[in-house]
Amino acid sequence: MPEIVLTHVTKRWDKFYAVDDLNLVIDDNAFVTLLGPSGCGKTTTLRMIAGLETPTSGRITIGGRVVYDSEAGINIPPNKRKVGFLFQNYALWPNMTVYQNISFGLSNIKEELPKFDPDASRAATLLRVLQKPDDVVKTIVECVDKKGKLDVNKAQIKLIDRYEISIYAAKTLMSYKLHESMEPGTVAQARRPELEAALKSARDKAAAAGCTLNDRFEYEKDGKPVTAVRKLTPEEIDLSVRRVARIVKIGMFMDRYPSELSGGQQQRVAIARTLAPEPTVLFMDEPLSNLDAKLRLEMRSELQRLHIDTGSTFIYVTHDQMEAMTLATKICLIENGVLQQYDAPLDVYAKPNNVFVADFVGNPAINFIDASGAQQSDGTLTLSALDGMQLSFRPKEPLDVAAWYERADAEDKARRDAENARALDKKSVEKGNKDVLFRYHVARVNETEDFGDEAALTDGDFVLGVRPEFLRLSDSGAIEGEIYSAMPTGMETTVKVRVGSFLLTGVVFGGVLYRIGQKIRLDFQGDGVVLFSRRNGRMIAQGSLSVK
């Protein structure tokens, strides 16, 4: 499976930078979700990797092969990138059966493929299955109804699934009528000589051409595969269709038309159709957004399984952070065309690079608390927050705040210098959609209009990010609060707690009932509270928070 590498990829329309200098390495067999708010550049990124959109500049490789390079003038079309697509509007052909919908694309393939002997392959398959004639009989008689009538269609599908064979092999097997004989073993034995002869004749034919047949019945010469430009044989097409139908469990619906299927079943057919040509990379753009909530959840787990079963690399666009969190091996979070974080979902959740990431991921959302103060000689930070309350933040790892700022400022300066140098280049186009510092939201009881006219921020201005599960409601808590709202779901209750003029959101597990207006006490738990710089919005450290 291929690794996908994007190097300095930019896409702009005039002064609008939809994707700005994106560098990304997508590992073999990864499940990457491209996440971000509407218009941030997710779909553009996906389309550029797939070859449906031409980048303005940069380089993209798939499996070591350059598919796009602005400087070298390389741009391989999508149908030559061996990739598959699954879009929101997957539109099955209504006048074709499920089988035809899946097989249609395969029957149009005409490309360089290994030379193959379908007769030898089928003979070998039948010989393999006939080794256990009693098993074959058992599989067939399972499809006899109460009145003693055999459902031939069902029996064929059972044989196809049981032995992973084509419909042609299943029909031949049925024609042997093992299930009608008192001695299936003898019937099976009687069939062997003709099948063995077919196999030998195929090998002789290959030998006459100076070749050998490998164990997949493909021609080889001097140990190397012999290829030819050809179409797939009906048997190969059937085996592919059956393989993907097995994966998405639609084997029983092959003769139905799309209108005779539920939304979820149609979606599975669309997935099967995409998987049939065995794409090494599968692109999905919000493929579940047309489904209802329950089906979405079901299809999510199907997709996760599919990812393992197919071994393909999945690249999946979504603006639903929950979908991104639950499916991905890695999340690529984009805002305004700029990569914000590329990490495993739990790392994005626990160690967000900046306030934007912290805010975008997690439901209920993280609590932001403005705080100001300084680091003490013991490494902790003494902070004033929530209307003058004195808090102590203890970093999880050793931290030197002054040194952190020095590094961050040096990085910012280097970036600004690079941007200025870029602006001096005559060919460069100034970015119209400028990057602005994300304005996080501090929840208050009486929300006032935020004019953004803050006093100049210093290195002593911080933002604390407290996930709802790090708020602890307990009688021994040092902070006084009052229940502002409580939403029990049975498994947990989401509470908004009023602390002075602020509102903090917490999650309490179990069926606890709270009364609105009820006085409670709370504090913070765990060492996962995140400290951000208010000046540049970036994460400084994780740690624990307590009241002094």
- Sort strands 31-35 and 313-318 into parallel, antiparallel or unpaired: parallel
Tell me how far, at minimum, the Cβ of 433 lies from ligand ATP, in Å.
8
Q: Is 6 in the site for ligand ATP (CB under 6 A)?
A: no
Residue from 40, 49, 169, 520 binding ligand ATP (CB under 6 A): 40
Nearer Cβ to ligand ATP (102/348): 348
Give me the DSSP letters along 448-513.
------PPPP-TTEEEEEE-GGGEEE-TT-SEEEEEEEEEE-SSEEEEEEEETTEEEEEEEESS--
Give one DSSP letter per residue of 170-196, joined into a string: HHHHHHTTGGG-S-HHHHHHHHHHHHH
Q: Compare residues 20 and 238 and give the one whose CB is closer to ligand ATP.
A: 20
CB 32 to ligand ATP: min, Å: 15
- Which residues between 7 and 26 bind ligand ATP (CB under 6 A)? 13, 16, 18
Residue of 42, 158, 273, 498 that binds ligand ATP (CB under 6 A): 42
Dihedral (CA of 34, 38, 41, 44) sign: positive
Q: How many residues bind ligand ATP (CB under 6 A)?
A: 12
- Our finding on whether 36 is near ligand ATP (CB under 6 A) is yes
Q: How far is the CB of 317 from ligand ATP (least distance, A)?
A: 6
The whole-angstrom separation of Cα 287 and Cα 51 is 19
Please report whether residue 39 would count as binding ligand ATP according to CB under 6 A. Answer: yes
Question: CB of 527: closest distance to ligand ATP in angstroms?
Answer: 34
Question: For residues 40 and 358, which CB has a smaller minimum distance to ligand ATP in the complex?
Answer: 40
Contact in structure between 86 and 284 (CB atoms under 8 Å): yes
For 72, 112, 163, 272, 310, the CA distances from 243, given in Å and listed in that order, are: 40, 22, 11, 9, 10
Across the beta sheet with 224-225, the strand order is 212-213, 219-221, 224-225
Asked if residue 44 binds ligand ATP (CB under 6 A), the reply is yes
Q: How far is the CB of 40 from ligand ATP (least distance, A)?
A: 4
Q: Is residue 43 involved in binding ligand ATP (CB under 6 A)?
A: yes
Kindly tell me which of 320 and 459 has the beta carbon lying closer to ligand ATP.
320
Site track 302-331 with ligand ATP (rule: CB under 6 A), x = hit = -----------------x------------
Tell me the closest approach of the beta carbon of residue 287 to ligand ATP, in angstroms. Answer: 13
Contact 321, 4 (CB under 8 A): no
* Distance of alpha carbon 407 from the chain centroid: 34
Query: Does the footprint of ligand ATP cover residue 41 (CB under 6 A)?
Result: yes
The H helix count followed by the E strand count for the chain is 14, 27
Q: Which is nearer to ligand ATP, 18 or 140 (CB)?
A: 18
Nearest to ligand ATP by Cβ — which residue? Answer: 43
Q: Largest alpha-carbon pair distance within the chain? A: 94
Q: Report how far apart, in Å, the C-alpha atoms of 72 and of each of 47, 59, 66, 77, 80 are.
A: 20, 9, 10, 15, 18
Which CB, 39 or 477, lies closer to ligand ATP?
39
Nearer to ligand ATP, 16 or 93 (CB): 16
With a CB cutoff of 8 Å and minimum separation 6, the contacts of 75 are 51, 54, 67, 68
Q: Which stretch binds ligand ATP (CB under 6 A): 32-40, 82-90, 220-228, 366-374?
A: 32-40
Run of H or E including 154: helix 152-163
Per-position x/- string for 161-180, each x denoting binding to ligand ATP as judged by CB under 6 A, each - no binding: --------------------
* Residue ranges binding ligand ATP (CB under 6 A): 13, 16, 18, 36, 38-44, 319
